Amino acid sequence: MNIEEKIIKIAARSSDIPADDLTAFFSEGIRRTYAPNEWLFHESMPRRWAGIILDGKVELVRGVHGSSRHIATIIAGTLISEGAFLEDHSHSNSAFTRHGATVWQISTEKIAEFRTSQPALFHRIVARIAVSIYRRLRELSNRLYERKDCIQEVGGFRTEQDSLGNREVSDYAYYGVQTIRAMENFSISGIQLRNFSHLIEGLALVKKAAAMANFELGVLEEAKMRAIAAACDDLLAGNLHEHFVVDMFQGGAGTSTNMNANEVIANRGLELMGREKGDYGYLHPNDDVNCSQSTNDAYPTSIKLAVLLANRSLINAMTALKAALDAKAEEFGDVLKMGRTENQDAVPMTLGQEFSAYGVMIESAIKAIERAAYEFLDINMGATAIGTGINSPPGYADLVTQKLSMVSGFALRRARNLIEATQNAGSFCQMSSTLKRAAVQISKICNDLRWLSSGPRCGLNEINLPPMQPGSSIMPGKVNPVIPELVNQVCYQVMGYDAVVSMAAEASELELCMAEPIIAYDLLHGMMILTNACVTLTSRCVNGIEANRDVCRGYVENSIGLVTALVPFLGYDLCAAIAKEALKTGSSVFQLVCDKELLTQEQLYDILSPESMTDPRFIPKK
């Protein structure tokens, strides 16, 4: 074991487990390094290990449906996923590292062995972990109680005015009059902007960068810039998202979303300036937060940033799926089976080759998504209404792009032609079609997993999928391939979204695409459900697949398709005759060849060895 003594001491102090006990237990562990923005585990997925953070920080978040909330930050010397000791089968939170981390991990298999080999030590550790978890829950309860003042009572109101008149707004709300009108006009789906954290983050990044550029160009006071930037930082930290209440389905090309952001940022900024919400004489949603902007450049840029942020999670999930498929390809490299074309016997192959092909499919989909995402680095900030830059100061477009690159971490570029970039939704269409491609490929894999596991007595039964739940309310003992079925349905939805995005992009008329809200919804929701589907498929299906080796081998030996592999040795005509006789008599090709003494059993086994089936083989001329 190579785990630092000081880390063990810190972990011992924080968990109240003796250092010697921790050292003895974690001696069977391994060091695992995680890259920036890499996920350690996902909510509801099975626990695979327990660990100690050696360096870096790990963020715990809750919520996989587009509105994740930060739970806690875990630092070096802290136990993580210790619920694995308590036979807690699923994670209640997700965990990722923003800047990278190293974790010393011990697998659940090793934990089970430890429980058997050293039960006294194991149960000592479990007892202390149970106490530690109890203390953590008590601390969280205390914090929630201490924050009771955050619970607002509805009662006070303020009056806000827009060009259509006055409206009363609850003092609790950080949004304003224009958001209220949008809530009334667009009560359609019940799916609100607050469910899409990445889009809120994209809006916050845009507004922060715009404020910084406007201040530098002398069109925004420093105090206002600082208030806007601080309010945006609040949003980026996950705060106030509940005040983004407009429906994702809306008219106005995203104006309601933009104004919802402007009003929340303005009112939070006013609080930070020591003013009351709605006191817009000191910080105005339009004049200040929206300074040098239009919905027509701020909104599509925010969508692009949201897609780039969501893309990180999607690529990570697909990469994990590829790794799982590759691992199964290696595990099944010696399992001979029949390949099939048009659902008919074809020629022998290995189960490893089959899974290797699946891994390549996912890899090609990943590369295509990365290429599509590259176009999203071109943004139209500074275009304002239609691309002419009206109401923005000279140099703003270049400077705001530079500032937005800095605050977002993406290497953004000013679009070559801002008028074109404001009306052309082609890059959204490209990303959508690329997501559809990935969905098609993932769904094809799920189709195959369902076929290969069909049975168990009256189907192919070449593989076993891990059983997840009873499969019937009337048929005892039935277990369905529920995870591939789920992922199939997710993929169908993503494919359908592509048709909608295509229509919405085509609906762009003259200088603006009015249908960008539905593009935003379909892209972001599609990426979210595809990410979650890949995580689920990996953790709850692929990782637990087992091969039925004898069944696979039996199909090969009894298949008529076997004659194709024998053609180079026996000739086409003789093989055709053997195939015909096998069909007529019900005998196996393997047995007929042996009975006729055309080849010995040893020769047949050599011809059908996985090594011979995997690659082209030199066959001497007769």
Q: Could you report the per-residue pLDDT of 536-579, keeping only the tens digit for each?
A: 999 999 999 999 999 999 888 888 877 888 888 899 999 999 98
Give the CA distances from residue 568 to residues 112, 576, 597, 620, in Å, rounded to whole numbers and listed in that order. Answer: 51, 13, 17, 9
Alpha carbon distance 414, 405 (integer Å): 10
Q: Yes or no: say if 198 and 309 are a contact pair by the CB < 8 Å rule.
A: yes
User: Is 472 one of the catalytic residues?
Assistant: yes
Q: Which distant-in-sequence residues (6+ apart) come within 8 Å of 350 by Cβ? A: 332, 333, 334, 335, 336, 337, 610, 613, 614
pLDDT digits (tens, 9 = 90+) for 46-99: 888 888 888 899 988 877 555 667 777 888 888 888 888 776 667 878 888 988
Q: Which residue has the tokens 């250092």?
A: 19
* Euclidean distance between CA atoms 467 and 448, whole angstroms: 17
The answer to whether 333 and 610 are in contact (CB under 8 A) is yes
Residue closest to 281 by CA, chosen among 224, 365, 327: 224
Phi and psi at 169, nearest 5°, equal -125, 135
- Provide the pLDDT for residue 617: 66
Closest by Cα among 166, 182, 302 to 244: 182
Average pLDDT of the residues in 577-598:
89
Residue 516 pLDDT greater than 80, yes or no: yes
Q: Is residue 104 predicted with pLDDT exceeding 50? A: yes
Q: What is the residue whose two structure tokens read 């082209």?
A: 616
Specify the pLDDT at position 153: 45
Nearest Cα residue to 210 out of 199, 202, 306: 202
Give 126-160 pLDDT, tens digit per residue: 787 777 776 666 666 665 555 554 444 445 788 88
Smallest CA-to-CA distance from 429 within 300, 534, 257, 531 is with 300
With DSSP H G I counted as helix, E B as strand and the rest as coil, what are the percentages for the chain, rounded to 5?
Answer: 55, 15, 30
Look at 385 and 30; give whichever has higher pLDDT.
385
Marked catalytic residue, from 27, 141, 187, 472: 472
| pTM score, whole prediction | 0.85
